[in-house]
Every structure is written in structure tokens, then in C-alpha cells.
Amino acid sequence: MQRLSFHIIAVIISYFLNGCVVVHSQTVCNRPANLEWHLQPQTAQVKWTLMENICNSMVHCWGDQNRTETQKSDVPPTWNLPQICPLEVQFGVKLFVSIDATLDVYGIRILNVSKEDFESCSTAPQSQDQFLCSDDVMNATKQVEPKWLLPGLHYFIASHEGNSQLCKLGLRLNVSVKEQQCQSSPLVRLCSGNGVCRTSFWEDGAYRCQCRQHYSGKFCEKFDACLENPCENEGVCVSNGTTDHIYATYKCLCPPHFTDRSQLVMFLTSQVI
């Protein structure tokens, strides 16, 4: 017990003497506004350290203050602070974790825990099947076992000999793993080639299609030239369903005294040809 107390005290002293910048500099978690799905396998790496990448407020951890205040109930982040900047990865990613030299001296374990244990920093009981990597004690860069990276939210915390102090200082990580729902089958292109398979940090569950102009549907498989109603002067747009832009893809049913410009252009073009 005395050895444990010495180790924890040493880490705390190191944290407040050398890591005060982390506490007072307001670490902001930088992340792209949107993430696109990659067909090729991706890798990600997280360094467990008290000296950097620890966020201390909801805005700094999660971004836009307006979003944090109006957070949807179906995208439940965990607000307990401090913590390592939350991570979002696509399903199939290879995630590697490492620890800094200070923590390496003490020897820490990284555990998979429930959301409740993440928030309370509970480390008991520690069973073998909770360890994030095949080796229980971290002493080098390790790959996280795939079973901890299935689609969904995952919570990891660090402990030293069962003590929760490291977690309370910020050594806990929230990981969101998302799969893509951008293909009707593996044989077709993402979003039918008419959009981008993308997610945002605040979107729950999966990568989804964001369709290009005039395309709609779950996989951007529908084309509708009237989607944004190009007709002026209260004209009614009628799409003919074609995607061949050599021909008129829609026509306007115009009110009295107005003419469908697209039809007139097509008529004049045919006369020139």
C-alpha cells in the first residue's frame, strides 16, 4: 500500500509541476468537421499521458458550445472531466495505444469498462477479459484487440494496481466506432457515385450519404432535377427522370404570360443543329 501511495503521489506531483500547462492552457480537441469513409484500412494512435491531449471542459472536449447545450439524447456523450480527447474511428480501423515514459515506470493497465464505471472511474473488479490489449501491463505501443472496436461507444480507463487516481486525473478515453451505411450492396459504389459517405462528430451511429445536387435517397440513387425547383415566377417543375444532361431533364409548367426557358433553349439548339 505504501508503494502504491508513493507511485500515485509521484504521478500527481509530476502532473501538477510539469503538466500544469494542460490544466490551465485549456486543451482544445482538434478534429475535422466532417469525416469521410475510407475504403482502405485505416490506423489510429492514442498516447496515454497526463502532459497533453487532456480536455477539461465540455466545449474543449466536444466542440461547438451550441451543440453541447442542445445535445440530442440519442447521441449521449459522457461529460465527466477531465478526459483524453474523445476519439471517433470507422469500423475496421487498427487502433494503437502507447504510454509516456513517466507512466511506463509505474506500469499501468488500460481497461474496457461500462459507461457508469468510466464516469465514476471505478476499476474494480479487474478481470483478465477487461484488458484492452493482450498484455495486461502497458510497456510499449500495443494494438487494441478488435473485439473492443465493434460499432458503438466504448469506454477505456487507466489504473495502477487497481487505484482509480490516474483515471480521475484524466486518463480515460471515450471511443466511438462507426460503420458505413452508404451502399445497397458491396458491389455498388459508395452513395451510387452521386454523393459522399460522411459523418460528423455529433452524428450518431454510422457514416451516411450526403448527396450531390439533384440527387436524393438513402444511397443517392434517385435523380430529380426538380429537387430545388429551378422554375421561376411560380412555375411548377416536372422532372422526366433522365440523368442525361444532353437533353432537358425537366420542364416548367408556367403561369400565363411566361415561357419555359429550358424548352425554348432546347428548341433553338435543335434548330441550329
187-205 pLDDT, tens digit per residue, is 999 999 999 999 987 777 8
Helix, strand, coil shares of the chain, percent, nearest 5, are 25, 30, 45
According to the model, what pLDDT value does residue 72 have?
Answer: 46
The model carries a pTM of 0.73
Which residues are paired to 155 by β-bridges? 113, 174
Domains of the chain: which residue ranges?
A: 41-59+78-178, 181-223, 229-272
pLDDT band with cut points at 50, 70 and 90 for residue 67 = low
pLDDT grade for 142, boundaries at 50, 70 and 90: confident
Region for residue 143 given its phi and psi (left: phi exceeds 0; alpha: psi -120 to 50; beta: otherwise): beta
Is the model more confident about 89 or about 18? 89
Topology adopted by domain 41-59+78-178: Immunoglobulin-like (2.60.40)
Q: What is the pLDDT of residue 9?
A: 39
Q: How many CA atoms lie within 13 A of 182 on its CB side?
A: 24
Do residues 208 and 193 touch, judged by C-beta distance below 8 A? no
- Any alpha helices (H) in the chain, and if so which ranges? 2-18, 20-24, 58-62, 65-69, 101-106, 115-120, 165-169, 261-272
How far is residue 193 from each of residues 125, 199, 244, 250, 257, measured CA to CA in Å?
49, 17, 15, 22, 40
Cβ neighbours for 213, distance < 8 A, ≥ 6 positions apart: 227, 228
Does residue 66 have a pLDDT over 80?
Answer: no
Which has more pLDDT, 181 or 224? 181
User: How far is 235 from 259, CA to CA, in rounded Å?
Assistant: 9
Q: How many helices (H) and strands (E) does the chain have?
A: 8, 16
What's the pLDDT score for residue 204? Answer: 74
| Residues 151, 212, 42, 173, CA torsion sign | negative
Per-residue pLDDT, averaged over 216-221, amounts to 93
Classify domain 181-223 by CATH number: 2.10.25.10
The pLDDT of 13-38, averaged and rounded, is: 62
What's the confidence (pLDDT) of residue 5?
43
* pLDDT, averaged across the chain: 77
